[in-house]
């Protein structure tokens, strides 16, 4: 699949007259719990020529490819990416830390990582992950019979919140790292590991009785984290000037 992704990247560069700086996996494969039929959720950052930016008209800043046979590709233009970076956009932060990098060129991502502490807003990340967890918990895990694999789409954002609470940094993207650091040995951790082992073996785990220990943990943490999130108020310095400089430097570097 990597060869096909790189072929698509080359085709996109030629078709749109762009340069692509960074290509990563962003979905369940990057999170560490893919299903046997999981899509490849590929995300990328790209740069237009300088002339594209010197226009009185706003232009489309996203490239999306139609999903086909397991490949979903979506890219953000450089200026859009840096604006979202300034807002500490959680999905973009995950892209920067994906453990599955298909392609990287130029210095953009390394420079973004160097200054990520200047932009990271814990409250933004907490709201993002907590709302994700609450929505998935409400939609998938309320009945006596539930889709067991949906637990991962609630557990991971809850653990991401717990990481932010503990370390005040961007949480690891890999689910296993969150579990190892944040959960003590015991029934809960054992139940989660059992589900993870089954999922990685290809067991699709359709409707089954809910796991009481996990539901109780999620109920408790959602309530607790809601209160914690309300108490967080962190302000960051405006780094627009720094990002403007980065933007111009990347344009010069890419199109030198």
Domain extents in the chain: 2-115+238-254, 122-231
Beta strands 145-147; 207-209: pairing state: antiparallel
The band of 66, judged by pLDDT with boundaries at 50, 70 and 90, is: confident
Q: Which of 55-59, 93-97, 103-107 has the lowest mean pLDDT?
A: 55-59
Contact 148, 205 (CB under 8 A): yes
Cα–Cα dist 80/91, whole Å: 13
Provide the mean pLDDT of the chain: 94
pTM, two decimal places: 0.93
- Asked whether the predicted pLDDT for residue 105 surpasses 90, the reply is yes
Question: Angle at CA 91, nearest 5°, toward 150 and 66?
Answer: 80
- Phi first, then psi: give them for residue 238, nearest 5 degrees: -75, 115
- Asked whether the predicted pLDDT for residue 69 surpasses 90, the reply is no
Residue 205's pLDDT is 73
- The SS3 of residue 102 is strand
Retrieve residue 21's tokens.
């700086």
Give the model confidence (pLDDT) of 79-102 as tens digits.
Answer: 999 999 999 999 999 999 999 999
- Asked whether the predicted pLDDT for residue 248 surpasses 80, the reply is yes
- Asked whether the predicted pLDDT for residue 204 surpasses 80, the reply is no
Tally the C-alpha atoms within 13 A of residue 145's C-alpha that lie toward its C-beta.
4
The band of 123, judged by pLDDT with boundaries at 50, 70 and 90, is: very high
Give the architecture-level CATH label for domain 2-115+238-254.
2-Layer Sandwich (3.30)
Contact 20, 45 (CB under 8 A): yes
DSSP 68: B
Question: Angle at CA 230, nearest 5°, toward 228 and 233?
Answer: 100
Give the model confidence (pLDDT) of 172-193 as tens digits.
Answer: 999 999 999 999 999 999 999 9
Element (H, E) at 193: helix 187-200
Contact 72, 40 (CB under 8 A): yes
Number of other residues whose CB lies within 10 A of the CB of residue 34: 18
Cα–Cα dist 200/195, whole Å: 9
The band of 203, judged by pLDDT with boundaries at 50, 70 and 90, is: confident
Q: Give the list of residues 6+ apart from residue 48 with CB closer than 8 angstroms, or none.
A: 16, 17, 18, 77, 78
């Amino acid at each position: 699949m990597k060869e096909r992704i790189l072929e698509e990247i080359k085709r996109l560069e030629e078709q749109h007259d762009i340069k692509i700086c960074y290509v990563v996996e962003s979905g369940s494969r990057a999170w560490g719990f893919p299903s046997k039929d999981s899509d490849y959720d590929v995300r990328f950052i790209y740069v237009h020529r300088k002339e594209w930016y010197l226009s009185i008209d706003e232009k489309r800043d996203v490239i999306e490819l139609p999903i086909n046979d397991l490949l979903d590709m979506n890219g953000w233009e450089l200026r859009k990416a840096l604006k979202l970076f300034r807002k500490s956009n959680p999905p973009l932060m995950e892209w920067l830390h994906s453990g599955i990098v298909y392609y990287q060129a130029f210095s953009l991502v390394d420079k973004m990582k160097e200054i990520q502490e200047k932009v990271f807003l814990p409250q933004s990340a907490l709201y993002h992950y907590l709302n994700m967890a609450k929505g998935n918990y409400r939609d998938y895990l309320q009945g006596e019979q539930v889709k067991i694999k949906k637990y991962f789409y609630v557990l991971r954002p809850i653990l991401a919140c717990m990481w932010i609470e503990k370390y005040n940094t961007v949480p690891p993207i890999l689910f296993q790292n969150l579990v190892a650091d944040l959960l003590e040995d015991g029934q809960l951790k054992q139940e989660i590991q059992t589900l993870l082992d089954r999922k990685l073996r290809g067991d699709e785990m359709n409707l089954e009785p809910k796991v009481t220990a996990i539901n109780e943990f999620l109920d408790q943490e959602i309530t607790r984290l809601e209160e914690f999130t309300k108490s967080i108020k962190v302000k960051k310095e405006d780094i627009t000037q720094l990002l403007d400089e980065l933007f111009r430097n990347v344009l010069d570097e890419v199109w030198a």
